[in-house]
Amino acid sequence: MEHACHHCGEAVEDGQPFCRHCGAPQIRVLIETPTEVAFPPVDTPPTQMTLGPPSVTGALLWSRALPAALWGGILAAMSMMLPFGTFGLGLLTAGALAVLLYGRRVSGPLARGSGAKLGAITGGFGFGIYALLMALEMAIFRNSGELKTALIDAVDKAAARSADPQAQAAAAQLKSPEGLALIMGAGLLFLCVVFIVAASLGGAFGSSLLKNRRH
């Protein structure tokens, strides 16, 4: 087979290194042009990194929320050891404190519902710590007998207000060991609800304070 010479156009057989008419070389090597690499301009400023607490929106960041709830729970338990339990103000303050401590560790808005949830967890921690302290107090000072006597006196006073035989029978059942255990269980359940509800209200209030402070 033949091909045209790229220099003079005469026919040249394939495989001939030179054209017989003009002597032009017929073997050509194609060299690919290297692809250019785009570099950023020299005057481009470097990317700035912002150091600070992580920004989280939506769900709570539990690794930061649980320590804050624990500190708030300690405050809640300590406040209930005071006379009259500070009328529940300590529980409200504990929920708000947990939210504010969480806000110091995590940036970004905290919804009121998330604040109430964090406050409820704070109340649960506070009730657990308070129950543990009360159990230790009874074990150390051995005043469980005094608590039993106080419960029996309360049942007797309540039964004395009614002459109904059924009320007297119910009072007799409540003074039994099973009845006293039922009373104590119901009291602890009620106290747990008080801890959780009051601290959740404080958490919702604390989220509003946190939002206003950041604005």
Confidence at residue 139, expressed as pLDDT on a 0 to 100 scale:
76
Same domain, 174 and 96: yes
Classify residue 44: in a domain, yes or no.
no
What is this structure's pTM? Answer: 0.59
Q: Which amino acid is at 162?
A: S
Q: Which two tokens stand for residue 208?
A: 């509003």
What does each of the 215 residues of the chain score in pLDDT, given as a tens digit? 777 777 777 777 777 777 777 777 777 665 665 566 565 555 555 555 555 555 455 578 888 999 999 999 999 999 888 876 677 888 999 999 999 999 888 876 688 898 999 999 999 999 999 999 888 877 776 655 666 677 677 777 776 777 677 766 777 776 777 777 888 888 889 999 999 999 999 999 988 887 776 55
Report which of 113, 110, 80, 114 is spatially closest to residue 94, judged by C-alpha positions: 80
Same domain, 74 and 150: yes
Classify residue 86: in a domain, yes or no.
yes
Domains in the chain, number: 2
Q: Which two tokens stand for residue 187?
A: 């009291």
Number of residues that this document lists for the chain? 215
Classify residue 14: in a domain, yes or no.
yes
Phi, psi of 74 (to 5 degrees): -65, -45
Classify residue 41: in a domain, yes or no.
no
Q: How far, rounded to the nearest angstrom, does the alpha carbon of residue 37 sit from its chain's CA centroid?
A: 46
Residue 120 and residue 113: Cα distance in Å, rounded? 10
Classify residue 37: in a domain, yes or no.
no
Boundaries of domain holding 153: 62-214
Classify residue 81: in a domain, yes or no.
yes
| C-beta atoms surrounding 207 within 10 Å | 27
Helices (H), the chain: 62-80, 89-105, 112-141, 144-160, 165-174, 177-214
Same domain, 194 and 107: yes
Confidence at residue 20, expressed as pLDDT on a 0 to 100 scale:
77
